[in-house]
Amino acid sequence: MENITEIQHEYGGIIQSSLHVHLDHDNCLEVVVLRGDGQDVKKAAERMMALKGVKHVKLTTTSIGKEL
Ligand code: NI
């Protein structure tokens, strides 16, 4: 079964940084910073959302304003 680390390796080209926090015995928090084409970022987020065991995903986006 695919896991979140495998997805992050697949999207290594647009992942700038990731942070993993062990919240308690059963729960972790993962913060992943992506930079790239909006469609690619959305796709990577959707892949992580679809993983079994992922309870909550929030995608927050921003832009420097160019190409809008
Ligand atoms: Ni953990």
pLDDT in tens, 43-66: 999 999 999 999 999 999 999 888
pLDDT in tens, 19-42: 999 999 999 999 999 999 999 999
Q: CATH top-level class for 1-68?
A: alpha beta
Centroid of ligand 1 to alpha carbon of 25 (angstroms): 8
For residues 29 and 19, what is the distance between their CA atoms, to the nearest angstrom? 8
User: Where exactly are the structural domains of the chain?
Assistant: 1-68
Centroid of ligand 1 to alpha carbon of 57 (angstroms): 16
Centroid of ligand 1 to alpha carbon of 66 (angstroms): 37
pLDDT in tens, 7-25: 999 999 999 999 999 999 9
pTM for the full model? 0.84
* Single-letter residue type at 19: L
CB-neighbour burial class of residue 8 (10 A; exposed 0-12, middle 13-18, buried 19+): middle
